[in-house]
Amino acid sequence: MTDLRLQIAGEGFEAMPERALFWPRTRTLAVSDLHLGKDEGLRAVGAVVPNGPMQADLDRLSRAIGRTDPERVVIVGDLIHGRLGLKDHVIESVAAWRDRHTCEFVLVPGNHEHSARGNKLPGALDAWRMETAEPELTVDSITFVHDPDHAAGPSIAGHVHPAVHLGRAKAPAFTIAGDVLTLPAFSAFTAGAPIDPRAYDHVACCCDDAVISCYEAAST
């Protein structure tokens, strides 16, 4: 795996092909938009979808944790997809996965958490030993906030699922605009939203086992 170093506000981060971002100085691993239970939620409304996307995402997150040995994992919103996907077996499966990891997990709730309140979500977060930080989490000089439009100052965000067309393929992307670094959607079962790289200062794409810089604005 080949990571790519990115920088905002004088802080160095490692963009990882697992669609995660590691901040070595604070041993913080950040991911966004896992949308756990999306497949179950779609089945609940009659869609035919494949089995296994959630477990594949969790396995990929385990690899990122194994490569970085973080002190904490920050989930920058949309950990779950919705209330229909919070089946008992989903909660139990994620709890069993969580038990294999000793690092701290902190959720900055996103719009999908807000729309799912009042049902099984509180119990699921307890079972998954997820702390919450709302509406944002600040670690030293960097704020973790779900929506980049709500960022004020140096921030790491998610929500918009940035992606870039590379030929006929579409690659999930990290973007930097000013001092806001936006993460790709971690869920491989979540369509990326194509962006115009020229609207950003830096765009880096996840391509198989490497992150590559695919656009960087010229210095002035």
At residue 96, the pLDDT reads: 97
- Whether residue 191 is predicted with pLDDT greater than 80 in this model: the reply is no
Average pLDDT of the chain, as a whole number: 90
The residue whose two tokens read 């995660």 is 20
Which domains are present in the chain? Answer: 4-216 (3.60.21.10)
* 44 pLDDT tier (thresholds 50, 70, 90): low
Convert the pLDDT of each residue in 59-81 to its tens digit.
999 999 999 999 999 999 999 87
Top-confidence residue, 15 or 170: 15
* 220 pLDDT tier (thresholds 50, 70, 90): very low
Could you tell me which of 78, 73, 50, 51 has the C-alpha nearest to residue 62?
73
Convert the pLDDT of each residue in 84-140 to its tens digit.
778 888 899 999 999 999 999 999 999 878 777 667 888 999 999 999 999 999 999
Q: Strand, helix or coil at 74?
A: strand
For the segment 200-208, the average pLDDT, to the nearest whole number, is 95
Q: Maximum CA pair distance of the chain?
A: 55
- Whether residue 46 is predicted with pLDDT greater than 70 in this model: the reply is no
Residue 123 CB contacts under 8 Å (≥ 6 apart), including other chains: 91
The reply to whether the predicted model has a pTM over 0.95 is: no
For 196, how many CA atoms within 13 A lie in the half-sphere containing its CB?
2
At residue 43, the pLDDT reads: 54
Could you tell me which of 116, 40, 43 has the C-alpha nearest to residue 78?
116
- Whether residue 146 is predicted with pLDDT greater than 80 in this model: the reply is yes
At residue 51, the pLDDT reads: 66
Q: For residue 82, give both structure tokens.
A: 């919705």
At residue 54, the pLDDT reads: 86
